Chain A
Amino acid sequence: MRIPLANLLVKSPLPRVGELMTAVRTCADKVPDLIDHLVRADQAGVERLAKETSILEGKADEVKNRARAEMPVRLFLPVDRRDLLRLVSQIDAIADCAEDVGVLLTLRPLTVPEGMRPYLAEFVEHVMHTVAAADDLVRILDPLVKAGFGGSTAEQALALVDELGRREHEADKRQDQCAKALFRAEASMPPVAIFMWTKVLNKIGDMANHSENVGDQFRLFVAR
């Protein structure tokens, strides 16, 4: 059969990005639970959740690899292929950080300093808000293609990018509060715990940072 049209119109890898975001979100959603168990000093629960997070991260990796496999060099996409690959890595990085949070918490059992408790819960909540905003943005990819990356859909996407930036900023502020609370308690804590906490806070904060990068990628999509 001579059917060049069928060969020309291949399956778009763009829906895979949504699929990846779903997998990453499932994985990232374990982090509030993890911290919750940590606050309640339930180390067994932390270990269990860390393992779950790790498995979910593996599943997200599978989706990521499938998405990359569907983007051969000769593919012509409505967005720059390299930008799309960068978007995929940024989304995937969110899950990587979530997994790292779990791993860090199992390396050395940590206790939450009393003064940090209220800030920590709030920090995690704001980070999850940021991840949720990245999720919202990824959901608009399909309507964006339908609208040819223009019109009100593009404006809507840019508004979501702005919102994402605001939420990341809020999360940042909460991270600083946590760090301050941590260092206020430094006299009563072993230095290794301080060191580990800094790492944990950074990893949680990175989830919001990578979410913000997702937004930046979308800005490029609309701008092209």
Chain B
Amino acid sequence: MDAVTIILATCVVAGLYTAWNIGANDVANAMGTSVGSGALTLRHAIVVAVVFELAGAVLAGGNVTRTLSDGIVSTAALGDDPMLLAIGMTCCLIAASVWLHLATTAGWPVSTTQSVVGAVLGFGLWLGGFQGVDWTILGRIGLSWLVSPILGGFFAFQLVSFIQRRVINAPDSVHALRTIGPILTFVMAFAITFATIYEGAIPSPLTFEAPEAVVIAAAVGCVGALIVRFVLVRRSALLGPGSDVDRAERLFLVLQVLTACYVAFAHGSNDVANAAGPMAAVFAAVRDGVTDDIHVPFNVLLIGAFGIVLGLATFGFRVMATIGREITALTPSRGFSAELAAATTIITASVLGIPVSTTHTLVGAVVGVGLARSIGALNLRVLRGIAGSWLATIPFTAALAAALVALASLLT
């Protein structure tokens, strides 16, 4: 076996393991709220996750993948040795995998995104010292980790307050939801369509410039809103007895099926890149040598998506069942608000090509709902754990990746 085959094989295995981790833990975190409220059964949640994770990864995951494959490490530091890039990125995947395995075993709330970004940072530092890293992009990524949970929380707070005022505390909640539901559906359909057709990393006949993309996305949004309006009107006739608010909450379950798809799509568009980004760099280096602009191979996104599905099928359903049991505290309208707010934040980051943490954004959104006085109790100790994992992840994966590259370069 030659060195290239060994590197490619190692890279795919480590990439698959990272993707498996994402599927096993992160997807379950993202979709647990829908399972907990009873909008989806466990089985349906897995089907939704598989379909929309794949769609998100393939249709809108290109920008983040590209950022992770060639945005952080500066090309100047790489010189003209494609093997160095291939080995380095493979080491990054191994370092991230090791950290994720450790964290998962210990139950630390670390982010897959941060693990991979930390590892790539370590590789860049080993390569060219301070000059080996594009600090503008890294600064933007670091800032987004702070901004995305806060933004998710802010949106969720506004959304849940709005829903409380306009739906839950309205004189006729069910009727109000039949009007508000389609409007919120418009937002989701618009975001998904825009993220798909706006000039992504994968050139296709479906790619459009901003003005056209907005018009098309708005059109799709309107169609989606009309369909949901139709469904809501039909469903509200079949709600059965109960108080107006309870009936409205049950009607929210219909909308929560949509947010579950939306979250899965958002997650796929942002997090598949964690596994696919470094793999894309390795594949491109082996095929094309060092280039400034890595073309993301389609099959790399597919490998990432496949790993995620594998993680879901083997382990993720158990995590989802656990969350589903715990999250009964979230009524459908609150789960809906948190998911819509978090996923919109994540999709926006995906379009901008910024890798953010889905779970942390969702945690931010749930805290936002809590700030609107709508959740029985939140354990804020978790936030400290997340902050701690933030501080631990980057140094660990960076150091490990650098050490692994140093070792590998000694051997070759």
Contact = CB atoms under 8 A, between A and B. Distances in A.
* A and B pair up: yes
Given A10-B378, A78-B374, A2 B366 contact: no
Contacts of A146: 168, 245, 249, 331
B25 A9 contact: no
Interface in A59-102: 74-79
A79 to B, nearest CB: 8
Nearest to B360: A4
Contact of A7 (B165, B319, B375, B379): B379
A3 B323 contact: yes
Interface in A198-224: 224
A5 interface: yes
B240 interface: no
Given A75-B378, A78-B376, A149-B373, A8 B366 contact: yes
Interface string A135-147: 0000000010111
Contacts of A2: 25-26, 29, 103-104, 107-110, 359
Contacts, number: 140
Contacts of B108: 2
A10 B379 contact: yes
A151 B168 CA distance: 8
Interface stretch (B5-13, B297-305, B380-388, B403-411): B380-388
A32 interface: no
Interface string B162-179: 001100110000000000
B164 A148 contact: yes
A5 B104 contact: no
B165 A78 contact: no
A14 B374 CA distance: 12
A150 B169 contact: yes
Interface centre among A1, A77, A152, by most B CB within 10 Å?
Answer: A1
Given A9-B366, A147-B168, A1 B379 contact: no
Given A146-B331, A150-B164, A3 B376 contact: no
B377 A3 contact: no
Given A74-B381, A146-B331, A1 B319 contact: yes
A106 interface: no
B114 to A, nearest CB: 12
Interface string B189-222: 0000000000000000000000000000000000
Given A4-B109, A9-B329, A147-B168, A76 B382 contact: no
B332 to A, nearest CB: 11
Given A9-B366, A14-B377, A74-B381, A4 B386 contact: yes
Contact of B363 (A4, A15, A74, A151): A4
A3 B28 contact: yes
Nearest to B362: A5
A45 interface: no
Contacts of B318: 1
A137 B73 CA distance: 62
A187 interface: no
Contacts of B372: 148
Contact of B370 (A3, A14, A78): A78
Given A74-B381, A146-B331, A151-B168, A3 B322 contact: yes
A153 interface: yes
A76 B370 contact: yes
A9 B326 contact: yes
Given A148-B168, A150-B169, 9 more contacts: A1-B319, A1-B322, A4-B385, A7-B379, A7-B381, A10-B379, A75-B380, A78-B376, A145-B373
Interface of A: 1-15, 74-79, 143, 145-153, 224
8 contacts: A3-B29, A4-B29, A7-B385, A9-B377, A10-B326, A11-B329, A79-B373, A153-B169
